[in-house]
């Protein structure tokens, strides 16, 4: 049995300091037939610990009618986590927030315990105990002590910050829930509580959070720059849950607990009022700022997006109709996460994977290092002029790291040419070079010397770095130097024989460890191809691929077998009025796939309007909130089958009058007109008008619709 503990600096695994990466996925928001694929993708992206809420209303929407089937089958999900070689933090609530109706409470509970939920009321505790017992029935025998994946339990969520009791009453409540869990049989080595915003933690291991923006903020305008891009000893993000009111400080002694995160925003779930767009560099820079501030667990919420399940009585999204401050989409919970609602990877996935490669190979030593933030370091995110940097260092071994962040979301930082960083404490060292707006990086410090290249990983005794400036991949001695682009596309894979390979591909690479081989999957929107750095033996050319030797130890491979095309898409205009436009969308049957490479087809919809909805057979299956020009809505179609599909698309108008009610980073052009009807037809040889109505002082248009396929090939490493 693996042993998990902690001290004031970090977690331990079997007596060694451990810097894990944690990623959130909600099993009940994702099709169960794709759980394994999703978890393997998360693992390939650097995730060691899977975190997941158990959402009460998803399991007992109607009192005493429990549902643990299909996508709600918690036991099957935890068993799949184990099968994939991952560990797990179970976040059991009972209140979870999670942008769910009532924060996860069923409507019947809200009525039955009106005004007493999240208090020390006996009737409320009785209902919570029933719920906890049902959850325990699902996970019994799957704790770490049993050889299972569950190593941690999170009790409640944002308690004493977003609702609940404070002070001693709040502490008593958290202690009572923890005792209840243990008496029922929950037995994990780690028990956590969210610690931001003044939440009470009752002596449990506090976990922190941080988001690059605040879609829940009630202001429909650009808000102040986020403090999560500054190096600081402050662990609290005052903005989280600001729709519930600002919490103050923390309620625990930071000197007694390690700096761990459970809710670094892997993206942002937009609301109807605020629609900020999380970008890959937002998440990368924020992560580096947290690491440079002493963080020893990168926990991302969300890591994998999803879709709200159908309710039996009501829809299940967070909504103002139940007293929430925010209005969320009924179906989508994409979150712009590293892995999206339909399992598609984005740039954030690559940024986190690159950081994960670093912490997996050097994290044990990093955990032991003290944090030094120079006094001259900018204290506020509004300072766009001065360099932001920190040092983590081990005085005994005379090694450490310089963390630099010259990035602030939605703002321009000063370019620093021929910059000098003089480190005085804990070691004298100097950095000299250019640091441009938008850069964030980590550099090693060895015996008072700062390297100029960024560490990536170790490979068969070699150390792999990447250059901050453009250049070719090179090797010298026991060091391999990659370009920054290749480092973002790098995947480290270990075969059953212990050989390590670095596979570099623009596609999504993930693996499955079998008894005698490692199965490698490569998913790509283009013709699948990859480079491989194999410092020991060259791999056998996979079936269907052609090999080209680039240089010593580096070979490239491209898939040469025939691949199918994406099925054609046809749109048919139905109607339009002042409020919305309606279209029929037909997708042809998927083409013949002789080699089994077609794994998904994505419907790509470009539109201008307030929001859009997709229906199939009269049922809402997908929706989207418009986030400004240039943002394409993607819908993965494999969950609907490979036969010909027909959908109905509705687009709601975005009116000029909504500018003071909605925050968009960039607004589209909205014509100032009185509305007009006109004949459908061609305005020119290039522009065809579908609709026959121009809404008054509003915009509502389908700007483009296409399909794009995703190909999947596989090969083995032994």
Structure tokens at 290: 């947290």
**For residue 679, what is the domain's CATH number?**
2.60.120
pLDDT bin (cut points 50, 70, 90) of residue 551 is: confident
Query: What is the structure's pLDDT at 697?
Result: 94
In a domain, 513, yes or no: no
pLDDT at 392 exceeding the cut of 50: yes
Point out the least confidently predicted range of 50-59, 115-124, 129-138, 493-502. 493-502
Mean pLDDT of 248-259: 89
Crossing angle for the helix pair 74-83 and 35-44, to the nearest 10 degrees: 40
Q: Specify the number of domains making up the chain.
A: 2
Alpha-carbon span 468 to 453, nearest angstrom: 7
pLDDT at site 681: 38
- Tell me if 581 sits within 8 A of 614, measured CB to CB: no
Distance CA 32, CA 257 (A): 36
> Dmax over Cα atoms in the chain, in whole Å?
79
The chain-wide mean pLDDT, for the chain, equals 95
And the tokens for 422? 């003089």
Give residue-wise pLDDT tens across range 115-145: 999 999 999 999 999 999 999 999 999 999 9
- Collapsing DSSP to helix, strand or coil, 373 comes out as coil
Q: Do residues 572 and 611 touch, judged by C-beta distance below 8 A?
A: no
Residue 190's CATH number: 3.20.20.80
User: Is residue 135 situated within a structural domain?
Assistant: yes
Given 314, 346, 362, which residue is the final one in a domain?
362
Average pLDDT over residues 445-464: 95
Q: How many residues does the chain have?
A: 718
Rg (CA), the chain: 26
Task: Give the containing element (helix H, strand E) for 238.
Answer: none
130, 122 contact by CB (below 8 A): no
Q: Is 181 within 8 Å of 110 (Cβ atoms)?
A: no
Q: Classify residue 72 by its DSSP letter.
A: G
pLDDT value for 477 = 76
Does residue 236 lie within any of the structural domains?
yes
Residue 460 burial by Cβ neighbours in a 10 Å radius (0-12, 13-18, 19+) = middle
In a domain? residue 431: no
pTM of this structure: 0.96
What's residue 683's pLDDT?
35
Q: What is the mean pLDDT of residues 625-632?
A: 98
What pLDDT band is residue 684 in, cutting at 50, 70 and 90?
very low
Q: In percent, how much of the chain has pLDDT > 70?
A: 96
Give me 661's structure tokens. Answer: 């009610």
**Does residue 537 lie in a domain region?**
no
Last residue of a domain, one of 346, 362, 378: 362
Which among 359, 252, 250 is positioned nearest to 300, based on CA atoms?
Answer: 359
Examine residue 456 and state whether it is found in any structural domain, yes or no. no
DSSP per-residue string spanning 301-336 = E-SB-EEPPPPSSS--B--GGGT-S----SSEE-TT
Q: Are 655 and 661 in contact, with CB atoms under 8 Å apart?
A: no
Query: What is the rounded CA–CA span in Å between residue 48 and residue 50?
Result: 7
Q: Is 704 a domain residue?
A: yes
Q: Which domain holds residue 258?
A: 4-362
Separation of first and last alpha carbons in the chain? 27
| End residue of a domain, out of 362, 381, 403 | 362
Separation CA 61–CA 628 (nearest Å): 35
Residues ≥6 apart with Cβ < 8 Å to 226: 210, 211, 212, 213, 239, 286, 381, 408, 409
pLDDT for res 241: 59
Is residue 376 one of the residues assigned to a domain?
no
């Amino acid at each position: 049995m693996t042993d998990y503990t902690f001290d004031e600096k970090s977690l331990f695994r079997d007596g060694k300091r451990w810097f894990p990466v944690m990623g959130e996925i909600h099993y009940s928001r994702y099709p169960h037939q794709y759980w394994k694929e999703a978890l393997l993708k998360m693992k390939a992206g650097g995730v060691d610990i899977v975190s997941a809420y158990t959402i009460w209303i998803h399991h007992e929407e109607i009192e005493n009618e429990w549902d643990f089937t299909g996508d709600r089958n918690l036991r099957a999900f935890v068993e799949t986590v184990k099968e994939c070689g991952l560990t797990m933090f179970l976040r059991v609530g009972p209140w979870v927030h999670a942008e769910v109706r009532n924060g996860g409470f069923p409507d019947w509970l809200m009525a039955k315990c009106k005004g007493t939920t999240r208090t020390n009321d006996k009737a409320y505790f009785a209902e919570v105990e029933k719920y906890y017992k049902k959850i325990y029935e699902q996970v019994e025998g799957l704790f770490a002590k049993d050889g299972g994946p569950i190593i941690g339990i999170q009790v409640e969520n944002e308690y004493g910050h977003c609702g609940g009791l404070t002070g001693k009453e709040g502490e008593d409540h958290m202690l009572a829930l923890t005792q209840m869990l243990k008496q029922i049989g929950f037995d994990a080595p780690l028990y956590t509580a969210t610690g931001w915003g003044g939440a009470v933690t009752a002596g449990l291991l506090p976990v922190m959070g941080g988001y690059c923006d605040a879609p829940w903020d009630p202001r429909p305008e650009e808000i102040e720059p986020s403090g999560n891009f500054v190096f600081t000893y402050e662990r609290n993000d005052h903005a989280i849950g600001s729709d519930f009111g600002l919490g103050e400080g923390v309620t625990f002694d930071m000197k007694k607990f390690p700096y761990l995160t459970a809710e670094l925003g892997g993206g942002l779930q937009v609301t109807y009022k605020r629609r900020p767009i999380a970008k890959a560099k937002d998440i990368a820079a924020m992560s580096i700022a947290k690491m440079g501030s002493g963080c020893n667990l990168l926990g991302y919420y969300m890591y994998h997006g999803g879709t709200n399940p159908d309710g039996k009585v009501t829809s299940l999204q967070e909504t103002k109709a139940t007293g929430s401050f925010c209005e969320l989409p009924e179906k989508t919970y994409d979150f712009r996460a590293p892995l999206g609602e339909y399992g598609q990877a984005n740039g954030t996935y690559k940024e986190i994977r690159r950081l994960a490669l670093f912490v997996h190979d050097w994290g044990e030593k990093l955990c032991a290092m003290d944090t030094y933030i120079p006094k001259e370091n900018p204290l506020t995110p509004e300072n766009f002029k001065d360099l932001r940097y920190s040092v983590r260092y081990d005085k005994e071994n005379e090694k450490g790291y310089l963390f630099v962040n010259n990035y602030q979301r939605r703002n321009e930082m000063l370019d620093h040419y021929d910059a000098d960083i003089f480190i005085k404490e804990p070691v004298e060292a100097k950095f000299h070079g250019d640091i441009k707006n938008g850069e964030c990086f980590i550099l090693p410090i060895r015996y008072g010397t700062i390297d100029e290249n960024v560490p990536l990983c170790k490979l068969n005794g070699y150390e792999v770095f990447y250059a901050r400036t453009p250049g070719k991949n090179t090797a010298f001695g026991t060091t391999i130097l990659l370009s920054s682009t290749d480092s973002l596309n790098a995947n480290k894979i270990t075969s059953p024989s212990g050989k390590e390979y670095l596979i570099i591909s623009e596609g999504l690479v993930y693996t499955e460890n079998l008894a005698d081989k490692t199965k490698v999957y490569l998913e790509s929107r283009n013709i699948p191809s990859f480079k491989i750095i194999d410092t020991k033996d060259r791999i056998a050319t996979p079936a269907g691929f052609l090999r080209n030797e680039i240089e010593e130890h580096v070979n490239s491979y491209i898939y040469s077998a025939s691949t199918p095309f994406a099925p054609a898409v046809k749109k048919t205009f139905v109607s339009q009025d002042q409020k919305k436009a309606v279209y029929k969308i037909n997708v042809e049957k998927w083409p013949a796939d002789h080699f089994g490479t077609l794994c998904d087809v994505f419907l790509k919809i470009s539109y201008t309007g307030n929001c859009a909805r997709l229906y199939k057979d009269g049922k809402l299956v997908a929706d989207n909130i418009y986030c400004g020009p240039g943002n394409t809505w993607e819908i993965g179609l494999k969950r609907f089958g490979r036969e010909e599909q027909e959908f109905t698309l509705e687009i709601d108008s975005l009116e000029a009058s909504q500018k003071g009610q909605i925050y968009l980073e960039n607004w589209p052009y909205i014509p100032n007109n009185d509305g007009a009807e006109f004949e459908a037809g061609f305005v020119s040889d290039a522009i065809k008008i579908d609709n026959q109505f121009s809404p008054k002082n509003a915009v509502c248009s389908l700007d483009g619709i296409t399909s794009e396929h995703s190909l999947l090939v596989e090969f083995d490493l032994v």
